[in-house]
Each structure stands twice: as structure tokens, then as C-alpha cells.
Amino acid sequence: MAKFIAFMLSITLFINITVCNVKKNADEKVSYKMPGSLTTEKWIAPGNTVSNWYNEELGTGNIDFDIIQVSKLVNNEDIFAFLRFPLKSTWLADEIYSARLFLKMKEGIAPGLIRLGIANQTIWSSPFASLNEVKSSVSEQKLAIAEVKKEQNDWVSILVTDSVKSWLCGDSPNYGFALFGVAGEAHYIFNSGNNGEDLPYLEVSGATGKRLLTYGKFGFTDQPEEGNCMSYALRDKDMILSDDLGVDFDVMDCIYIKAGEDAVADYISKLVVNYVEKHKLKLQISQFRRIEKFDSNINAEKEYRIALRVGCKTYGDEVDLGTKGNYDYHYWAQINDGQWVQKFSLDIPEIIPCSSPGLSPGKYPWDSSPQWIEKSQNYYTSKVIYFAVTKDTDEFTMHKQ
């Protein structure tokens, strides 16, 4: 009998955990995402891993895009490199167990030590940056000597767990690794992130922890390619563009000249409110309200949060935001575990790496493309405007049909 009672108790406990609906107190019901097992992923991005290297002695950079070189020269000058990977959203920072950077030797012997740090700005990716500007994008005082582990088939690896965690938790933006040589070590040549063979990659191990699912009504929806950022944020399949909103570019130019990018964001937000009000029946949105902050209170059983930002670019003295590429708006939407998601036109949606529960989406500028190219980096720099949305259906609508 005792064994039977114990067995029934274990079954009851399992059911309660699996349902993931437990009472925090008499009045509050909290949902949880169950913890996962420890797994390992290879984070590799063909065509979207950026690497550059520079020879301080010669005053040059980008000599050969197929390799990156690292060395501390006898005259105390450096041959140094930068390497950036797009991260993945599989785990939050505190769910990462370990992360290692893998590099393939192009020629020569494997290093034993390397000075490793992280970049603090994106200037190193600009072809117009001077060598001094490039080198100043990392503090040499923050470079740490790291042991290099020899792997099979000419691969080497370096432990980079702290760096990856610092990016994922928002302590610092992901501008990539800085690789410098160590005095007395040899000259090292690795395969570059710019070619298609033997790409550098991150090997990351982690396990999903128990996550609260109380940040909004919906989880992540892997909606196909229809729509754009705004339609996805409103859980609709039909693109919503500037023409749909009724953007008057002459008016917007005047607003920008007079009051700047944040005022343009306010202008767009008013047009958005009007658009949603006009189409609310087909959008099946019964309430759409502006809220003050990213963590302003909402009714998470009925509502979810979205965030709007704009980017305005001018060239010379002329302001012409109507020219393609001079202006754009973008949306993020928050899912129920506190992370944020986005969708670019003609692309699939993604959970945004480094968007964690409790981390403001306005902490860093947003990119305008999933591709790490200079034109798309840090494009949306206005203030962030937040809304709470009440979507009355779990399905994606098609409000233009």
C-alpha cells in the first residue's frame, strides 16, 4: 500500500508539473515553461560571420579576406583581428553552461595562448575607419590571456563563455571578439569568416531553465514569409507599409528638421494608432493603447506588448526622408517568456538574441536586416514607443482580404 501511495503521489506531481499551471498564491496563477536537458549547438553563420584583420606595423587592414592573422611583433606592434558571429536565441544568459570559439588553422602551428577581448563599437567594420580608430574599438587593458585548446583536424578552440553570456544578458552589445597575439608566441593564420570553407563557429552548451510565461498572451509563432514587421507585431499576414499608414514625407521632413528622430517616431505612432482603429474589426484587435515603458503593466492573459522604433538618415545638408533608404520604421513584439521577436519583409520571424526578460529593448539600437552589413547596423536609433495589444483571436488575421 505504501508503495502504491508513493507511486500515485509521483504521478500526481508529474501531472501538476506537466500542466505547468500552478498557483503562486490564492489569487495569482502563474505559468511555467519546463526546464530542458543539457544540449550542445554549433552556432555558425555562412555569409553572416564578419572578420577583419589589421597589420599595425604596415598600417594596413583587410589585406586578404580569406584569412585572419594574429601576432605580437618584436617592435611591440600588433597584427590583430576582429570576429563577429550572429548569436542564437536558444538560451538565456543564465542558461548557458559553456561556449567555445572554434577556429581552423590555415597554415602553421596552433597557438598556445592568445589575448582575447570583445569590441566596444562597430567602427572596425567600416572601410573608411583609420587604423587607430579600429584599434581603439577595444581596450587593450581589457584583453585577457586565454589558453588555446588544440582540437582535431587543425581546429583550435578558446573558452568564451563569459563573453557570450555578457552579450545575451545585455551587459554589452555583440560587436564581436578581438584577437591579439601574445609576446613570444608565433604568428598565427586562421581561416576567415569571409569565405565558405572551414568557417569559425561557436560551440554552445546550455539547458533551458524554468521560465515564467507571464509577459503576454502569445508564445512565439513561426509565421511564414507573408507580411512585414508591423503586420507580424499585430499578428496579421498583410503588409502594412508607409503608404498604408498615410505617411506624408514633406510633413515628416519638417518634423525631423524641427525636432529630430524622436519626434518622427511620435508622428509615426499616431498614424499607427489611427490605422489600427480604422481596421480593428478585421485585425480583430479590440484594444490598442500606448504604454509608457517596456515593462508597464498589462493584462497578460489578454494583451501583449509591441515596440516601435524609427531610423532617419540624412546625407549632407538635404533632408529627404522619402528617398528609399533614408527612413524606415520597425517593430518588435514580446512573447510570453519575456523575449522579443521581429520579422523583416520576405523573411521568417525570429526570436531576437540578447532580448531577455527584464531587459529594455531600447538599451541598444536595432539593426535593419538580419545580415551583418554596415548599412544595416544600428539603423533604428529613435526612442522606443510601446503599445499594449488585445488580439481577440489566436490565429493570424488577413485584414486586407
Q: What is the pLDDT of residues 77-113, one digit of tens each?
A: 999 999 999 999 999 999 999 999 999 999 888 889 9
Predicted model pTM:
0.87
pLDDT at 12: 43
**89 contacts: CB under 8 Å, gap ≥ 6:** 339, 350, 351, 352, 353, 355
Instruction: Provide the pLDDT confidence category of residue 5 given band limits of 50, 70 and 90.
Output: very low
More confident residue, 68 or 129: 68
Q: Which span out of 40-54, 267-281, 322-336 was modeled with the highest average pLDDT?
A: 267-281
Least confident of 3-12, 42-51, 328-337: 3-12
Least confident of 14-18, 59-63, 244-248, 353-357: 14-18
pLDDT at 318: 85
pLDDT at 19: 36
More confident residue, 107 or 124: 107
Closest to 234 (Cα-Cα) out of 283, 269, 299, 297:
283
Query: Any idea where the domains of the chain sit in the sequence?
Result: 2-34, 39-206, 229-391
- pLDDT of 27 over the 60 cut: no
Q: How many residues does the chain have?
A: 401
Instruction: Provide the pLDDT confidence category of residue 29 given band limits of 50, 70 and 90.
Output: low
- pLDDT of 120 over the 50 cut: yes
Other Cβ atoms closer than 10 A to 157: 17
Q: Which long-range contacts (CB under 8 A, 24 or more apart) does 146-149 make?
A: 146/113, 146/114, 146/115, 146/116, 147/112, 147/113, 148/110, 148/111, 148/112, 148/113, 148/114, 149/100
- pLDDT of 262 over the 70 cut: yes
Least confident of 21-25, 99-103, 176-180, 181-185: 21-25
DSSP 315: B
Does residue 221 contact residue 304 with C-beta atoms inside 8 Å? no
| Cα separation values, 60 from 53, 63, 68, 383, Å | 9, 7, 13, 38
pLDDT at 294: 97
Alpha helical stretches, state H, 208-304 = 229-233, 242-245, 249-259, 261-283
Average confidence (pLDDT) over 311-334: 90
Average confidence (pLDDT) over 338-348: 93
Average confidence (pLDDT) over 170-179: 92
Does residue 83 contact residue 49 with C-beta atoms inside 8 Å? yes
pLDDT at 136: 84
Read off the pLDDT of residues 134-166 as tens digits, 9 standing for 90 and up: 888 887 778 999 999 999 999 999 999 999 999
pLDDT at 281: 98
pLDDT at 124: 63
Place of cell 528622430: 261
pLDDT at 376: 81
